[in-house]
Structure 1
Amino acid sequence: MKSKQSKHPVVLKLCAAAVLGLGAGAAFAGVPADQPAAPVARGVAIVEETDRIIVKYKDETAPVVAGADGTVARAAAGALAPLSTARKAIVDRAGQQFGFLLSESHKIATGARIFKLSRKTSLSEAAQVAAELMARDSTVEYAEPDRMMHPLLTPNDSRYTEQWDFYETTGGMRVPAAWDKATGTGIRVAVIDTGYRPHADLNGQIVAGYDFISDTAVSNDGNGRDSDAQDPGDWTAAGECGAGQPASNSSWHGTHVAGTIAALTNNGSGVAGIAYGAKIVPVRVLGKCGGYTSDIADGIIWASGGTVSGVTKIASRAQVINMSLGGSGRCDTTTQNAINSARSRGTVVVVAAGNEAQNASNSNPANCSGVITVAATNRAGGRASYSNYGTIVDVAAPGGDSGTGGGILSTLNAGTKGPGADSYASYMGTSMATPHVAAVVALMLSKNPNLTPDQVETKLKSSARAFPASCSGCGVGIVDASAAVTAATQ
């Protein structure tokens, strides 16, 4: 388990489910085999901008804090009162130093306030505004840009009809042997992503989720936060996500991730899911051009059973969170606090290492403390060409790669913009490797629900198998589904 945050500059890229930081966002890690690479794919420059900052005052806490034992402690009266005149004056002066007007937007579950800037700006300038506010007001605990998250996408040239990643001896995860011991029954896996599309191969596998996107320009569904986590599509026009950015079709990324975890199995059609006895909790945080760090933090807290102001508490917390997100930069305080909150309630957090072929210590949230960071391998069992690597990586799992056997086949939607018919496609990336691991964690917890997040990580790593090909910086080995389930009861 990582115990230290990276001190590298925060620069997050748009990829299929990644978090942008003091640099800008998070992104998915996969692109359809039958479509050209999305503009957020590795190698495309991302415009790192935001129009919000997150401010946490020392005397303000979350309105309600739920303990792991189910007890509830309420914050001091007035902790979430409207901003005082004195504080508002300081906020105004800090913004004026850089030519911004700042308006308070809303509060999030960590107790922090979100302030909207009068225009979009670079992450570095937003960080300067945040630093100016901290310098002027000693009661500010921390202030940071509200970075955008985006999917980590890499090119995929082929579509495959076989799930080599499940059963092949060389590069697979030995899933069939695990099914003799566990199928994930009773476990809920939160997919913090773009939401989901109804799909025949996910029928009955999706339970009530939530749409945490607060900005209607990002949500693309005509409204802000609500209880409908369905994905309306995240397509963009040329230039919509920044000058020079090309148009992109909808990724349906969350649907692809969900299929790897819990697609119907033994139903005579489509693909199989690794933990097909588990249920998916869709948490929508990524839309057009990505998603804000603050929305993602609220999604993490809510999915793990915490309290988010104005949102009905989840009926049954997710025991596992999958974040196929990634981008460069340090682990921001907002994300780390949300992860800490989830872990305090026993939820295991699994995240993608990122798709920039760089040291993962510069990828957020891969470099956050307390998460299981996943690198991607190819069909030969070696490191995928795009996968991040380094000492903070815990384990690896199949993510596919061009020229070495193709990608990861899973559920998708045929719509290029809005929803269309059910479909299947192969994607490649650490976003695809991550749900393999989250699903194995679900298998482990269905066998032994008393495992703590730290125990899950230890057993997952101790049962991993050696790499059959070169995979420097990919963690201790490739996750072995069968051995991990066995280890869960030892």
Structure 2
Amino acid sequence: MVFSKFAPLVALAIASVTGTDAALARVDAGVHRTLRQQGTVNLIVTMKKGTDESLASIQESSFPTRGQKIASLVESLESNSKSSQEQVAALLTQESGTVGSSFSGYESFWISNQIYIKDATFELVEKLAALDSIYELAEEEIYELPPVTQAAASNFSVLANEWGVSKVQAPEVWAKGYNGQNVVVSTIDSGVLSTHTALSGNFRSNYGWYDPERRTTAPYDVSGHGTHTMGTIAGSGGIGVAPAAQWIACKGCRTTGCPQSDLLTCAQFITCPTTTTGASRDCTKAPDLVSNSWGGGQGSTAFASSVNAWRTAGIIPIFANGNAGPACRTANSPGDLSTVIAVGATDVNDALASFSSKGPSVGGLLKPEISGPGVSVRSAWFTGTSAYNSISGTSMATPHVAGVVALLLSYKPTLTYAQVRTALTTTTDKATLKSTGYTCGSTADATFPNNQYGYGRVNALNAFNAV
């Protein structure tokens, strides 16, 4: 049985599960459905207090260095979660000492003020629902690595810049002396084959890898998806937009999907990287951006607190908009959050990919913000150190935009999220974009921004010249 690092809190008072004064937590319908079907459920417990106060206190303060700011952020979030989760910790400590425990393990997440409880029984759910410190009990979400279309993998070396790299005019920025140097990029994905010839030279091994599932000491990849996306961001040999950037990664996705608990663990690692065992951490090693080619569902705010923490830490979040097209209103979460840059996919002829999800979001937001090359993109593959594969998806478009952001930060390291977003969205290519035949959210293709392409297709050179 595996339990979290909560100190024993058995002396703390546990709210009565029968008292009429208890403020009942919201219990998502999926919790009871899974309990009926399986007898237990993996829970995400969200506390009422949230994280807003902790984030605001950091945002309103000044710090000598970025590392000190992030360390203070983490300390504040940890203190917040410890105090607001005391009731739950006490209950779980009490329950773990009983015969036939009502759960098999749990973990606290400071980044979102949530707790993951594995294999919770109906009886435990009843007791948790009566605690007045809890806002919601929900079943753990399993996000998807969006399905991609792929060609046969090959072992041929890349001989020239890939079409997407050229299309966004990254080589023109390289010619000015900026190709991602002094920038650290990151992904949460299926892992990365760090020994691949296109990626081995710029892997930052020091505080550079975390695997929530197996706690491995070296990076690996379970599907190829993560190796491919990292290759597009920072790979050498013409496949990467920012080949001089250093990279780190967290394996938030397994072969069958991306469990919310793994993603939250990775969100914490991205905010303040740890050693591969998690035994020590160094917030000065935080990356400058995080590229996320995963998602699912719509209108979910489950990852909003993590994104808010990243933004407070100065980490720029970029997300795939999803592969649920061609219909309107198909943008996926977390890409449909207002606080992230969501990316749609285009082909070599600047036509929107038929699979590229469109906006508006469930809440009426314009989505995506921007589009990038995402059809038949060739990049590194996980089957060998010289393997490459051509695949399609907004998963492939997202790292193109992430690479462009790395180029901008290489040129001007102090750029804020708002400045980067403005640079990206005000300098896009529009004239070459093809009509989709769709009018989503009352905005046709000819009007920009729209819910098909966003503000247009990303252009690194134009954005570079604008900052």
TM-score bucket (shorter structure): 0.7 to 0.9
Instruction: Give a deviation string over 1:429-472, Cα, whole Å, max 9, x none.
Output: 10000000000000011111111111111110001110431244
Residue 137 of structure 2 is aligned to residue 143 of structure 1: yes
Identity level (%)? 25
Deviation at 1:340, TM superposition (A): 0.2
Match of 2:286 in 1: 317
Structure 1 length-normalised TM? 0.69
Q: Which residue of 2 aligns with 1:294?
A: 261
- Paired residue type of 1:253: H
**Change in CA separation of 1:421 and 1:202 when aligned onto 2, cut-off 3 Å:** closer
Conservation of the 8 A alpha-carbon contact between 1:302 and 1:313: no
After superposition, give the CA deviation of every residue in 1:27-81 in whole Å (9 maximum; x if it has no partner). Answer: xxxxxxxxxxxxxxxxxxxxxxx9421113346879x989573242452696365
Name 2:410's counterpart in structure 1. Answer: 446
Q: Which has the higher contact order (CA 8 A, sep 6+)?
A: 1
Residue pair 1:361, 1:367 contacting (<8 A) in 2 also: no
1:247 aligned residue: none
Q: In the aligned structure 1, how far is the partner of 2:29 from the partner of 2:150?
A: 28
Query: What's the Cα RMSD here?
Result: 3.9
> What are the equivalent positions in structure 2 for 1:387-406 lying under 5 Å apart?
387-390=356-359, 391-400=366-375
Q: How does 1:231-246 map to 2 (within 5 A)?
A: 231=220, 233-234=221-222
**Rg larger in structure:** 2
Alignment correspondent of 2:42: 52
Deviation at 1:147, TM superposition (A): 1.2
Question: What SS does the aligned partner of 2:202 have?
Answer: coil
1:82-101 counterparts in 2 under 5 A? 83=88, 101=102
Residue in 2 aligned with 1:374?
Answer: 343
Deviations 1:163-188 (A, max 9, x none): 22222xxxx21222121232111111
| 1:304–1:426 CA distance, 2 compared to 1 (3 A) | same
Partner-residue secondary structure (3-state), 2:358: coil
Following superposition of structure 1 onto structure 2, how do residues 212-223 of structure 1 map, counting pairs within 5 Å?
Answer: 212-213=211-212, 219=213, 223=214
1:244-276 deviation per Cα after TM superposition (whole angstroms, max 9, x unaligned): xxxxxxx211111111111124xxxxx432111
Q: Distance in 2 between matches of 1:364 and 1:278?
A: 28
State the partner residue of 1:105.
106
Q: Does 1:257 align with 2:229?
A: yes
State the AA in 2 paired with 1:113.
Answer: I
What aligned pairs does 1:111-190 form with structure 2 within 5 A after superposition? 111-117=113-119, 135-157=129-151, 163-167=162-166, 172-181=167-176, 182-190=178-186
Secondary structure of 2:387 counterpart: strand
Number of equivalences? 385
The alignment's TM-score, normalised by the length of structure 2, stands at 0.72
Q: List gaps (5 residues or longer) in structure 2.
A: 1-27, 35-39, 360-365, 437-444, 446-451
Partner-residue secondary structure (3-state), 1:349: strand
Q: Does 1:196 align with 2:195?
A: no
Aligned AA (1:297): L
Letter in 2 for 1:348: I
Q: Check if 1:280 corresponds to 2:269.
A: no
Whole-Å Cα distance in 2 between the matches of residues 398 and 77 of structure 1?
40
What SS does the aligned partner of 1:204 have? helix
Aligned partner of residue 392 in structure 1, secondary structure: coil
8 Å contact from structure 1 (residues 109, 307) kept in 2? no
Q: 1:362 to 1:151 in 2, by over 3 A?
A: same
CA distance in 2, matches of 1:76, 1:344: 16
Give the drift of 1:281. Answer: 0.9
The verdict on how the C-alpha distance between 1:286 and 1:77 changes in structure 2, with shifts beyond 3 A counting, is: closer
Counterpart residue identity of residue 344, structure 1: T
| 8 A contact 2:87–2:133 mirrored in 1 | no
More helix by share: 2
CA 56–409 in structure 1, closer or farther in 2 if over 3 Å, else same: same
